[in-house]
Structure 1
Amino acid sequence: MQPTPGTALTTALTVLTVTTGMVEAVSFLVLGPVFTAVQTGNLLLLGFAVAGEGGLSPAASVASLGGFTAGALLGARLTRDADRHGVRWFPPALLTEAALLTAAALVARAVETGDPTRTATHHAVTAIVGTAMGLRNVTTLRARVPDLSTTVATRSLTALFTLPAPGDPHPTEPWRIRHRLFAVGAMFAGGLLGAALLHATVPPYAVLLTVAAAVLLTAAGHTLANRRADNRMRPRRGGG
């Protein structure tokens, strides 16, 4: 069942965008260099590594790409089955993502910030986080909130500085501008926060656990908002 558009969904996606920046801080600064959510960057890093430039290893990018693919398949299956049974899939998808991020954090306990060595443990964490982000991409794509993607800010940034095309039916709607600002600002804020935590010697696993907790709270908050909305829509019993 499609999540209901509105403030609750917009808030949830904005929070998730912040967590994307935090995840990528861990991925790029500790596990890689590699990206786990922004696969455009990951594919470029893989190309650089295959070309033998930059001292990059293709193993991290392959682990991320493999995990992301598995997560996307999982997300497609989860949302499709939920639609078939007429139940909401947004909160369960977030719960699954939080579980994957928690698993990644547990494995990442053996990973230390500042260690230049990239081991099988690093790649395992990358693959698990990539799976979570693959699931995330399917979830947010199917949520269908215009101008607010939790893993890609390029289009939102471009749209902020692009003049409306002739015949555009919604060239200046304020909510579209807000969504674009949310997407760009939240991504930057998340990257800044994640990097700042790592710079303050917060262990990578703790950052991932923080992200998992944020995703879990987002799922709980969205579920509560849905219940309140459903209660308001139900007809009241009794006389009047």
Structure 2
Amino acid sequence: MKPRPGRALTSIMVVLTLTTGMIEAVSFLALGPVFTAMQTGNLLLLAFALTGAAGLSPAAAGVSCAGFVAGAVLGSLFESSVDARERRWFAPALLAEGVLLGAGALAAWHAGVDGPPAAPAGGHHFGVIAFVAAAMGVRNITTLRVRVPDVPTTLSTRALTAFLGGLPHVADPRIGSGARHEGRRFASIGAMFAGGVLGAWMLREGVGPAVVLAVPCLLVLLLGAGSWAVPARRTSEPG
């Protein structure tokens, strides 16, 4: 059963977008530089690193790609198997993502990751990267299946483009315009920016990467538990 479209689902997706900003702040500023959610950027970092660009680790980027692929494949199999039994897959998917983020936070805490590596990222950073990237692989499969317009949760380029294309005197009817569309796009862009600012600020103030990762973990788990607690007839529909 798929989530029922509406304001509640859109709000969940906006909160997930906020968590992406925080996660990528940790990934780029404390684990890499590497991305774990925005794999387009990560693929470019991998390409640059393979040419010997200074300060970049092909191993870190490769681990992120591998973790993301594993999360996306396993997430797709899991959600499809739940859906085939005509049960809700959205809430369990959020809970699975939250567990993986929690594993990443625990790995960062256990390894004592407290800032960007002085040298190219090592094994203790790789474990954190793998868990977080796997969580983001699950996230991307989940949001792809949900299909909330303009709120993909792990990137903002399309939302920003649609927002600009929907402005008065520019509006293209083929991409949609009006307060509802533009409000959703603005919320998506703002949430990503706010999450990045919050994550980077926490790291700058000396908050450990494990704690910063724990915040998105808790938010995702709360969203999953909340979605699960609401009766299926109010949150889901066949399909």
Cα 1:114–1:79, aligned 2, differ >3 Å: closer, same or farther?
A: closer
For residues 1-240 of structure 1, the aligned pairs below 5 Å read 1-109=1-109, 110=111, 111-117=113-119, 118-162=121-165, 163-165=170-172, 168=174, 171-226=176-231, 229=234
Structure 1 stretches of 4+ with a deviation exceeding 4 A read 225-228
Task: State the SS of the aligned residue for 2:226.
Answer: helix
Q: Deviations over 1:26-67 (max 9, x none)?
A: 000010000000001000100100111133110110000000
> How many residue pairs were aligned?
229
% of aligned pairs identical?
50
Shift of 1:86: 0.3
TM-score (norm 1): 0.90
Cα 1:101–1:145, aligned 2, differ >3 Å: closer, same or farther?
A: same
User: Residue type matched to 2:123 in 1?
Assistant: A
Task: State the SS of the aligned residue for 2:34.
Answer: coil
* In 1, Cα distance between equivalents of 2:178 and 2:92: 32
* In 1, Cα distance between equivalents of 2:118 and 2:70: 28
* In 2, Cα distance between equivalents of 1:172 and 1:57: 42
Partner of 1:234: none
User: Residue type matched to 1:153 in 2?
Assistant: S
Shift of 1:222: 2.5
Q: Which runs of 5+ in 2 are unaligned?
A: none
* In 2, Cα distance between equivalents of 1:158 and 1:71: 28
Q: Which runs of 5+ in 1 are unaligned?
A: 231-240
Cα 1:142–1:224, aligned 2, differ >3 Å: closer, same or farther?
A: same
Task: State the SS of the aligned residue for 1:161.
Answer: helix
Shift of 1:174: 2.4
RMSD of aligned residue pairs (Cα, Å): 1.7
* In 1, Cα distance between equivalents of 2:201 and 2:231: 34
**Would you say the 8 A contact 1:8–1:222 is kept in 2?**
no
TM-score (norm 2): 0.91
